[in-house]
């Protein structure tokens, strides 16, 4: 089931990562085509401020993923609703304050970014900042709501929102350059309006009765806001490092190659950010699923998750990297149509950038896994090394030897060195070199349950239900439980599994039911997870069917029972103690 989840989520996570970079990509194309190389340089100088918007939005996204993976792992819908309400309130407050600050101080910001204090470059930089910042609430909102769309199983709506945003941005950009002639301010404003289009499409679900989340001002709490910050701050470290890196590289490139080198870097960064959505997607899947599995104490699931993610990371990194190398001239030509120094520098930069994608994807899988499994300090160290320290050092040293060409080595060297240092740390902790997934998880020895105290079963048909119940009974008896206790747990398995298979499985679909039984500290935990249509046995138990009678018997035996529907999966957790079954 983990493999199926990864495949479902990876496309959606990668697509959601495009919500920021896609508009920037379109803007850069339009700027290069209609406003020239100088305008591209102005766009590049404005990028650190734009990245701050993305950093804040990513912080909220990561905070939501961490906080809600905990509540989903524990089966608490109330806590998930608190996270939803608090995330919306926090997003509105931060985005409005940030918008006001940038509008008030865009002139000194343009100067601080390296645009000087007067002239065309200065005017274009501050104008683009003013236009783009108007869309900050929608930009941050789009990022913050993405994980909720995924948890609600609304990946299709996410695709529609991104497509709507893309079409709107192209249309608004063309209106700006062909009709209104609004220059760089108009380009920034076009992006802002397109983000509001995406938000309007997404809000159709969140304002409907179908929405599985409940917003209430009363649910906004300091504790939950603090939890969102704590969960999101590690991501901010990485994003802040990226802002610093862009600022440093702009300064180095201005010194060694002038505004043409900055323009080339702007194109490189735009193409790189779009292609890097694969690594962002890998990281998003890693963070969400590792958080859920960690809170379920599922060591086996975490090991399988990391193995599969690294495999997909390598495949995606190699495939996208090869495409970038092959089509670099075509891609750069879209932004800079005139042959010259800026175009040549950008083509070489894109090809060298492509070599680092594989390492970047693996780094994102690992560091997001560490964030999801609460090894936050390690994740922050990796983010700082990968995002700024190592690439900036490599760019500076490279510029001293090979000029602009040396600067372009920043990505591949920074990512590969980060992965090497992470591996060295893991090998030191485990006392030897290994490429197996388990050591890289860095889990404590007492994490989860021992193999002998865990029974996992996958069911695909009604014929397997009786066998699963018998396995559960034998498992309980092997752990010294009374026959009555073993029979009660076997009954739980038989009733819930048969109900799922008979009424949830659909003909022609490869439905799947995963059952996990664990014994820890004289307490039994049963987890049922299936990919059928949503069904909550806790709140919906019709009295006129035999199936409902079986469900009510299970409810009566349980010490605690929790249900959540997330990631297109029904998740039911039942906790029992021997005394509850007697």
Delineate the domains of the chain, giving CATH numbers in brackets: 2-440 (no CATH), 451-581 (3.30.565.10)
Separation of alpha carbons 314 and 282, rounded Å: 11
Among 5-9, 37-41, 394-398, 464-468, which range has the highest average pLDDT?
A: 394-398
Residue of 463, 437, 281, 462 lying closest to 373 (CA atoms): 437
**Coil, helix or strand at residue 425:** helix
Q: Supply the pLDDT for residue 185.
A: 92
pLDDT reported for residue 324: 95
CA-nearest of 4, 150, 67 to 514 is 4
Rounded Cα distance between 468 and 329, Å, is 58
pLDDT, tens digit, for every residue of 521-579?
778 888 888 888 877 776 655 555 555 566 667 777 777 777 777 767 788 888 887 65
Q: What is the pLDDT of residue 518?
A: 86
Q: Which among 182, 181, 180, 163 is positioned nearest to 26, based on CA atoms? A: 163
The pLDDT score that the predictor gives to residue 238 is 72
Q: Give me the percent of the chain exceeding a pLDDT of 90.
A: 23
Short-list 51, 29, 49, CA closest to 40: 29
- DSSP H helices, 276-402, are 277-295, 299-335, 341-354, 357-372, 376-384, 390-402
Q: What average pLDDT does range 291-298 have in this prediction?
A: 81
Is the CB of residue 497 less than 8 Å from the CB of residue 459? yes
- Give one word for 522, left, alpha or beta, with left for phi > 0 and alpha for psi -120 to 50: left
Ranking 323-327, 435-439, 533-537 by mean pLDDT, the lowest is 533-537
DSSP SS3 for 529:
strand
Q: What is the pLDDT of residue 310?
A: 94
Pairing between strand 523-530 and 560-566? unpaired
* pLDDT for the residue numbered 545: 55
CA–CA distance, 60 with 147 (Å, rounded to integer): 10
**3 state SS of 166:** helix
pLDDT tens digits along 55-70 = 777 777 777 767 776 6
How many Å apart are CA 288 and CA 580, to the nearest integer? Answer: 33
More confident residue, 89 or 356: 356
What span, in angstroms and rounded, lies between the C-alpha atoms of 292 and 509? 25
What integer pLDDT is reported at residue 214 of this predicted model? 82
| Distance of alpha carbon 50 from alpha carbon 52, whole angstroms | 5
Report the sign of the C-alpha dihedral through residues 430, 431, 432, 433, in that order: positive
Average pLDDT rounded to a whole number, residues 96-104 = 90
pLDDT reported for residue 370: 92
> Which 3 state secondary structure label does DSSP give 454?
strand
User: Quick one: pLDDT at residue 171?
Assistant: 92
> What are the b/e assignments for 412-439, b being 16+ CB within 10 Å?
bbbbbbbbeebbeebeeeeeeeeeebeb
CB atoms near residue 520 (< 10 Å)? 13
Distance CA 277, CA 146 (A): 14
pLDDT band of 234, cuts 50, 70, 90: low
SS3 label, residue 565? strand
pLDDT at residue 550, rounded to an integer: 62
Q: What is the pLDDT of residue 315?
A: 94
The span from the CA of 581 to the CA of 255, in Å, is 75
Residue whose token pair is 């009374």: 482
Query: In angstroms, rounded to a whole number, what is the distance separating the alpha carbons of residues 458 and 470?
Result: 14
Question: Which of 185-199, 231-245, 379-393, 530-544 has the weakest average pLDDT?
Answer: 530-544
Please report the pLDDT score of residue 20 as a whole number.
58
Q: Are 381 and 426 in contact (CB under 8 A)?
A: no
pLDDT at residue 319 tops 90:
yes
CA angle 574, 580, 582 (to 5 degrees): 130
pLDDT of residue 416: 96
The residue-averaged pLDDT of 70-91 equals: 76
Task: Report the 10 Å Cβ neighbour count for 16.
Answer: 27
Predicted pLDDT of residue 571:
81
Mean pLDDT to the nearest integer, 145-164:
77
Statement: residue 106 has pLDDT above 60 = yes
Question: Please, are residues 516 and 458 in contact by the beta-carbon 8 Å criterion?
Answer: no
How far apart (Å, rounded) are the C-alpha atoms in residues 188 and 202? 22
Per-residue pLDDT, 526: 87
Average pLDDT over residues 240-257: 87
Secondary structure of residue 470 in the 3-state scheme: helix
Asked if 352 and 389 touch (Cβ cutoff 8 Å), the reply is no
pLDDT exceeds cutoff 80 at 307: yes
Q: From CA 577, how far away is CA 521, in angstroms rounded?
A: 10
User: How confident is the model over 388-407, as a mean pLDDT?
Assistant: 94
pLDDT, mean of residues 223-241: 74
């Amino acid at each position: 089931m983990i493999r199926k989840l990864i495949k479902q989520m990876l496309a959606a996570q990668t697509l959601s990562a495009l919500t920021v970079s896609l508009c920037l990509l379109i803007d850069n194309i339009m700027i290069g085509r209609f406003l020239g190389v100088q305008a591209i340089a102005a766009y590049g100088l404005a990028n650190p401020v734009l990245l701050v918007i993305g950093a804040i939005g990513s912080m909220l996204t990561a905070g939501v993923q961490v906080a809600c993976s905990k509540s989903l792992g524990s089966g608490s819908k109330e806590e998930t609703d608190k996270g939803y309400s608090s995330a919306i309130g926090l997003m509105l407050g931060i985005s409005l304050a940030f918008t006001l600050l940038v509008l008030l101080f865009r002139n000194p910001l343009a100067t601080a970014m390296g645009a000087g204090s007067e002239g065309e470059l200065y005017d274009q930089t501050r104008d683009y900042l003013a236009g783009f910042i108007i869309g900050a609430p929608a930009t941050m909102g789009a990022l913050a709501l993405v994980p909720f769309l995924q948890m609600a199983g609304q990946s299709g709506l996410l695709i529609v929102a991104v497509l709507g945003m893309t079409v709107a941005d192209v249309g608004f950009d063309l209106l700006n350059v062909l009709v209104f002639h609004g220059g760089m301010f108009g380009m920034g404003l076009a992006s802002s309006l397109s983000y509001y289009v995406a938000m309007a499409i997404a809000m159709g679900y969140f304002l409907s009765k179908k929405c599985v989340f409940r917003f209430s001002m009363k649910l906004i709490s300091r504790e939950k806001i603090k939890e969102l910050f704590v969960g999101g701050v590690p991501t901010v470290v990485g994003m802040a490092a990226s802002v610093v890196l862009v600022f440093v590289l702009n300064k180095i490139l201005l010194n060694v190659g002038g505004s043409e080198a900055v323009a080339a870097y702007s194109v490189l960064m735009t193409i790189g950010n779009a292609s890097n959505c694969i690594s962002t997607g890998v990281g998003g899947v890693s963070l969400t699923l590792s958080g859920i599995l960690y809170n379920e104490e599922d060591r086996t699931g975490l090991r399988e998750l990391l193995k599969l993610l690294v495999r997909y990371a390598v495949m995606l990194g190699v495939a996208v990297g090869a495409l970038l190398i092959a089509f670099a001239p075509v891609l750069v030509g879209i932004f800079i149509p005139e042959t010259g120094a800026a175009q040549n520098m950008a083509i070489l930069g894109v090809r060298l950038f492509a070599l680092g994608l594989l390492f970047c994807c693996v780094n994102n899988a690992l560091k997001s896994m560490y964030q999801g499994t609460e090894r936050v300090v390690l994740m922050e160290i990796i983010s700082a090394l990968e995002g700024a320290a190592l690439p900036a050092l490599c760019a500076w040293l490279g510029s001293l030897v090979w000029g602009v060409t040396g600067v372009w080595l920043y990505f591949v060297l920074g990512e590969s060195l980060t992965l090497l240092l992470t591996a060295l740390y893991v090998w030191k902790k485990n006392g030897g070199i290994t490429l197996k997934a388990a050591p890289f998880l860095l889990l404590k020895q007492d994490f989860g349950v021992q193999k002998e105290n865990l029974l996992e079963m996958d069911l695909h048909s009604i014929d397997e239900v009786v066998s699963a119940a018998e396995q559960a009974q034998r498992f309980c008896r092997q752990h010294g439980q009374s026959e009555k206790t073993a029979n009660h747990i076997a009954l739980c398995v038989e009733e819930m599994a048969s109900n799922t298979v008979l009424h949830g499985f659909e003909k022609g679909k490869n439905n799947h039911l995963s059952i996990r039984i664990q014994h820890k500290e004289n307490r039994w935990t049963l987890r049922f997870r299936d990919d059928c249509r949503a069904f909550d046995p806790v709140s919906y138990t019709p009295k006129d069917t035999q199936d409902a009678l079986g469900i009510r018997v299970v409810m009566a035996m349980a010490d605690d029972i929790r249900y959540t529907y997330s990631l297109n999966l029904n998740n039911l957790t039942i906790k029992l103690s021997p005394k509850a079954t007697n």
